[in-house]
């Protein structure tokens, strides 16, 4: 699982997301929040990760490109700096604090955090429909030993 020294995982990396996948798929609380059928993109600066949820689990994670975004239900986009801030905040608080929840970030950013590449709000609305599961997904990163590229 480690992609850095001493069991630490570099954010962003495929291994980091796969570690989250493993955590939520073994977490009864994640299942209790309900089913999700969605493909979500996570755009971190120029990097893209595609996260697929099916029923009660995160079924697949892969690295993607900007060309993938058009096929996804929605994608979350921030600069690498802001993503790092979110992940640090999540670690410090055992979960995102109020100003770092996905919902608040989406409400407060001028263009939102989440969007559908084709402007299809029905698919974009899935972000709202399963928001607490997505929050749980990212909050689970508090359990990881995350390092950032400059520290790795």
Does residue number 101 form part of the binding site for other proteins (CB under 8 A)? yes
Q: In the structure encoding, which two tokens stand for residue 103, read together?
A: 């919902």
Letter string b/e over residues 4-34, b meaning 16 or more CB atoms within 10 A of that residue's CB: beeebbbbbbeebbbbbbebbeeeeebeebe
Q: How far apart are CA 90 and CA 141, in angstroms?
A: 7
CB 70, min distance to other proteins, A: 15
Does residue number 122 form part of the binding site for other proteins (CB under 8 A)? yes
Nearest 5°: the CA angle 4, 144, 113 is 100
Single out the residue of 128, 145, 151, 152 in contact with other proteins (rule: CB under 8 A). Answer: 128
CB 90, min distance to other proteins, A: 16
**How far is the CA of 42 from the CAs of 6, 28, 29, 45, 85, in angstroms?**
26, 24, 23, 10, 15
Does residue number 89 form part of the binding site for other proteins (CB under 8 A)? no
Contact letters (x/-) for other proteins, 4-43, by CB under 8 A? -----------------------------xxx-x------
Evaluate whether 7 touches 145 at the Cβ level (below 8 Å).
yes
CB 138, min distance to other proteins, A: 14
Q: In the structure encoding, which two tokens stand for residue 6, read together?
A: 């001493």
Q: Of 43-51, 63-71, 78-86, 120-128, which segment contacts other proteins by CB under 8 A?
A: 120-128
Point out which residues bind other proteins (CB under 8 A): 33-35, 37, 54-57, 98, 101, 103-104, 106-108, 112, 119-126, 128-132
């Amino acid at each position: 699982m480690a992609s850095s020294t001493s069991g630490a995982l570099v954010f962003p990396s495929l291994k980091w997301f796969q570690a989250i996948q493993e955590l939520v798929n073994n977490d009864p609380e994640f299942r209790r929040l309900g089913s999700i059928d969605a493909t979500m993109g996570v755009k971190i600066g120029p990097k893209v990760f595609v996260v697929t949820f099916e029923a009660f689990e995160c079924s697949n994670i892969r690295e993607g490109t900007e060309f993938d975004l058009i096929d996804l239900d929605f994608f979350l986009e921030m600069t690498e700096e802001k993503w790092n801030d979110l992940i640090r905040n999540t670690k410090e608080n055992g979960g995102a604090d109020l100003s770092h929840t996905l919902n608040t970030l989406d409400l407060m950013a001028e263009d939102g955090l989440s969007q559908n590449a084709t402007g299809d709000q029905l698919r974009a609305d899935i972000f709202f429909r399963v928001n607490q599961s997505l929050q749980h997904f990212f909050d689970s990163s508090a359990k990881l030993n995350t390092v950032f590229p400059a520290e790795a």
